[in-house]
Chains A and B, each alone.
Chain A
Amino acid sequence: MAVDTTVNSAPRASIWNDPRGRAIIYQVLVVGGVVLMFWYLISNTMENLQNQQIASGFGFLDREAGFEISESLIDFSAASNYGSAFLVGILNTFKVSVLGIAIATILGILIGIARLSSNWLVAKLAMSYVELLRNIPLLLQLFFWYGVITVSLPGPREAINPLPGVFLSNRGFKVPVPEAHFAFTMAGVALVIGVIATYVVMRWAKARQARTGQPFPMLAAGAGLIVGLPVLAWLLGGAPTTLDMPELGRFRFTGGITLTPEFAALLFGLATYTAAFIAEIVRSGILAVSYGQTEAASALGLRKGLVLRLVVLPQALRVIIPPTTSQYLNLTKNSSLAVAIGYPDLVHVGNTTLNQTGQAIEAISIFMAVYLSLSLAISAFMNWYNQRIALVER
């Protein structure tokens, strides 16, 4: 209020000399400039496309794609349309990102902790891993892993056969899968029920321990629920044991499931590379927790593992989560390097579509929209998690 009166009582300054007025003018000018620039670019693009008689719009998504995609989570053939091709690409990007994030996180935490180990050898090995992996461009690493797989492994006819039905060749890693049977569907359902039940029991056990101090044998109970229930369901379903065994045809193995060299190289490359960064983040997070906390916990009689799990890590997570989110985003975006080694991710499939149809602007808009949504989704989830684990001050 005091400010207002002084301004009002003073002789009214011109709007240029009023900082607030100036700020508003600048902001209006900047926003107007940006809008004008975009309007110019878009209208000019449309005009030029029309002048050159290049078709635009998303109508091409309904046309038949005509090309095959080597691996897909949904049914896809050359007779499917470009829209489905994009969907296959998006799902493949999603698959490699989710698995990559999971593996990178576990590996990163282990190596980050190993770097702080008092064991000289373990600490130095972890350090070498981090320095080696994070200082070599990812693209080269992908070429390397792809080369290792395709050059060093034998062809399908000389495939390494460590176990019956398991084949390792430069066509990928083949393992037998049980033939489809109702019992397996039941086992799958039982697994989901087991996981949910374990979670419920865990919450109850925690609450009880907090209340009465009585521990509960959670490990055995969880194992029983998660492993026991599906096995029980499988037994009740008649315990089918027929396996779909891979067999060598004229050119390739049929039956079983395959981990292709392209997917393996990409997943492995992305996960190990990102793990190196996550390891450093974990290390910094742990070091950020004052040593007094560790000493205090030890003084209470907690074992080393428990100190880490109950005292240090929960506090370190506050420091670890935000930069780790960036690494997750990086991994997702880096998955577009798949183009180089032939894994059919979004950019790979989209580039082919772009080239077959010539719809560069549309295809690239789809890329941008998908990566943006994926990144925002990961960010939103991690921000939610960050808030959940934030230090509650009492």
Chain B
Amino acid sequence: MMIKSMLVAATALVAFGAAAPAFAGESLDAIRERGSLICGVNTGLSGFSAPDSEGVYAGLDVDVCHAVAAAILGDASAVEFVALTAQQRFTALQSGEVDILSRNTTWTLTRDTALGLNFAGVTFYDGQGFMVPKELGVTSALELSGATVCVQPGTTTELNLADYFRANDMDFDAVVIESFEEVNAAYFAGRCDVYTTDASGLASIRSTVAPNPDDHVILPELISKEPLGPVVRHGDDEFFDIVKWVVFALIEAEEKGITQANVEEMLGSDDPTIARLLGSTEGMGEALGLSEDWAYNAISAVGNYGEIFERHVGVDTSLGLERGINDLWTRGGLMYAMPAR
């Protein structure tokens, strides 16, 4: 894993030097010419992006890429997935190895600016939590002073962890391991008392990796804000706009009751908002530099945001997450699409 990330970093060094003209704001042209979207995803985080038994990537982050490909190319399957570790991801995006990074990445100020990236909206509002073995009898994160904590390096998780313990005047030992599989193994072998990452990730790990999920509890405290969303690099505003509005379209579709099943008949809807979104009333596609059926293609490929959520991480899946703050604003959540007009 380390060698891989070093390779990417080294490639980036070369790519910075060699691939100069590719950054002239031409991501969109490159995608069209290639006929496919290259999407950076997680190496394996159940519910967000993980290869299934046939090696096909599936998950919430993966569907965002399918939707973007459908909107641009009219073909949701025209996506090449590149699995990236937490450490490789930004270099891969900056160097042009991937067009879009949809890999449970937290939107922060420095990433948005100094790293030369643009966050195109939020597809999942997460927060960092703690998981502990039930037998420790811990009920609150404030009881964790002196604990050994397993954490992956190079993420906001590692910084939040240090901040939280510092703010509450507690101390801890960190076991920091880069590989996702190895850090899981260390926690379940008992090397650490606590595992910390985003709460959704904890749910995913508990349901899919734990030998017995009932032996582990996720503590109620969320110690950080982790808005996760797709990322593109600076320099192609047109592509940035498209990704941003595809995300909005998926949310708007849920609000307006457009689903994968009824999108066809919704084309004839009298609601002017729906007509504009789906392209029955022309203009939106042109403004984005796409065909008028961009949103139609995206929704018919992956469904609306609510459908994507329920399909991959909702209560009926092994992760079993409630909508919570990821519900629509009309139902008390934070999901709010800007008006498409």
Indicate, yes or no, whether A interacts with B: yes
Interface assignment of A136: CB less than 8 Å from any CB of chain B:
no
Q: Is A151 touching B189 in the complex (CB atoms < 8 A)?
A: yes
Known: A251-B146, A341-B182, A351-B154. A54 touches B114 (CB 8 A): yes
Q: With A170-B191, A252-B173 known to touch, is A354 a contact of B9 (CB < 8 Å)?
A: yes
Question: 8 Å CB contacts to B: which residues of A337-351?
Answer: 337, 339-342, 344, 347-348, 351
A355/B163 in contact, CB under 8 A? no
**Does the CB pair B162–A78 fall under 8 Å?**
yes
The size bracket of the interface on A is 35 or more
Is A304 on the interface with B (CB-CB < 8 A)?
Answer: no
A145–B106 CA distance with the chains assembled, in angstroms: 34
Residues 174-229 of B at the A interface (beta carbon under 8 Å): 174-179, 182-183, 185-186, 189-191, 193
Contact B153 A45 (CB under 8 A): no
**Chain B residue with the shortest CB-CB distance to A45:** B16
Q: Is A68 an interface residue (CB 8 A)?
A: yes
Contact between B173 and A351, CB atoms less than 8 A apart: no
A117 CB-CB contact with B under 8 Å: no
Report A111 CB to chain B, min CB distance, Å: 29
For chain B, the count of residues having a C-beta within 8 Å of the partner chain is 61
Residues 368-388 (chain A) with a chain B CB within 8 angstroms: none
The reply to whether A360 and B23 form a contact with Cβ atoms under 8 Å apart is no
Contact A348 B146 (CB under 8 A): no
Given contacts A252-B146, A348-B153, contact A356 B159 (CB under 8 A): yes
Verify if A197 is at the interface (C-beta below 8 Å from B).
no
* Residue pair B176, A355 in contact (C-beta under 8 Å): no
What is the CA–CA distance of A357 and B156 in the complex, to the nearest angstrom? 11
B116 and A347 within 8 A (CB): no
Q: Determine the chain B residues whose CB is within 8 A of the CB of A251 once the complex forms.
A: 136, 144, 146-148, 193
Q: Given the complex of chains A and B, what is the CA–CA distance between A337 and B86 in angstroms?
A: 18
CB distance B13 to A364 under 8 Å?
A: yes
Q: With an 8 A cutoff between CB atoms, is B140 at the interface?
A: no
| Bound CA span A68–B175, Å | 10
Give the shortest distance, in Å, between A277 (CB) and chain B (any CB): 21
At the interface, yes or no: A52 with Cβ under 8 Å from chain B?
A: yes
Quick check: A354 and B148 within 8 Å, CB to CB? no
Q: Given A68-B162, A251-B144, A351-B87, 13 other A-B contacts at CB below 8 A? A: A41-B14, A48-B16, A48-B20, A52-B234, A53-B113, A54-B115, A68-B165, A251-B193, A341-B182, A357-B110, A358-B115, A360-B12, A361-B16
**8 intermolecular pairs with C-beta atoms under 8 Å apart:** A45-B13, A47-B20, A53-B113, A66-B162, A339-B1, A342-B176, A351-B154, A364-B10
By a beta-carbon cutoff of 8 Å, the part of chain A in contact with chain B is 40-42, 44-45, 47-49, 51-55, 66-70, 77-79, 143, 147, 150-151, 155, 170-171, 249-252, 254, 261-262, 336-337, 339-342, 344, 347-348, 351-352, 354-358, 360-361, 364
Identify the B interface with A (CB < 8 A).
Answer: 1-2, 5-6, 9-10, 12-14, 16-18, 20, 23, 86-87, 90-91, 94, 110-111, 113-116, 136, 143-148, 153-155, 158-159, 161-163, 165-166, 172-179, 182-183, 185-186, 189-191, 193, 233-235
